[in-house]
Amino acid sequence: MLEKLFYLCLLVVFGCGTPAVKPDTNRVVNGVDARPHSWPWQISLQVKHGSRYHHTCGGTLIGSRWVLTAGHCIWPGDVYRVVLGEHDMTQQEGTEQIRDILRIVVHPSWDIDHVADGNDLALLKLDKSPIMNDSVGVACLPEAGEILAHGTPCYISGWGNLYTHGPMPDKLQQALLPVVEHSVCSRSDWWGINAKTTMVCAGGDVVSGCNGDSGGPLNCLGQDGRWYVQGVTSFVSSSVCNEVKKPTVFTRTSAFTDWLSEVN
């Protein structure tokens, strides 16, 4: 209860979905470097290999101590940490905040052997709250059941591969991915039965997410001028990342608001 009250206080003081640095939404056609810290809720989920940590997935800060990511990003026995305020992976910019993970809650219906069944979500509780500033902030969550209209402009962000089997970028990337409504995404020549109503598709015109973007947000601007995380990056085509009629598929956060509010 106290943590929920603290979260509400954060929203009053800082406001969710209101970055101090405005994202560049004017010139984005393909993936480009994001303006530093224009997606301040974007985190890097890093897994420990030997004595070092490496980026494995994205995620979204949705509360003072809670990060939302994909269920398939979490493997039993692995050790993870969260880096907030990150932009250039090759530089110590002084804005980074590192947090250990106190608790991991994977959605109870997630099944790694049946990715297309959906429920690809996990919540990470940080060991302590990050310092909220111009580089670290909280994203807004949508209302329960909200469905975005076909063509709604949204943005994927992450450090995923620049193209299939390509290198991972040093700097955070963003790309415009218009929403593809379910009736289109579920067509047989698109994603067919793999596209569930608890998912949201975006893209499909060869711009997409790729390996390393998993777990990151689908950022969509609300009518109130705030940015909402409408999706959590789940899967792309298994053959190539940038395939026509194979948009990036996200877990639709508005389908899981009850579960998100129950975990504390």
Catalytic residues: 72, 120, 214
Q: Which residue has the tokens 């940080």?
A: 126
Can you tell me whether residue 260 is helix, strand or coil?
helix
**Contact call for residues 45 and 56 (beta carbons, < 8 A):** yes
| Whether the Cβ atoms of residue 167 and residue 161 lie closer than 8 Å to each other | yes
User: 108 with 121: CB under 8 angstroms?
Assistant: no
Amino acid residing at 236: V
Determine the 3-state secondary structure of 93 from DSSP: coil
Distance CA 153, CA 222 (A): 10
Q: Which residue has the tokens 């250039």?
A: 88
Question: How many whole angstroms separate alpha carbon 264 and alpha carbon 135?
Answer: 25
Q: What count of other Cβ atoms lies within 10 Å of the Cβ of residue 118?
A: 24
User: Residue 249 gets which letter from DSSP?
Assistant: E
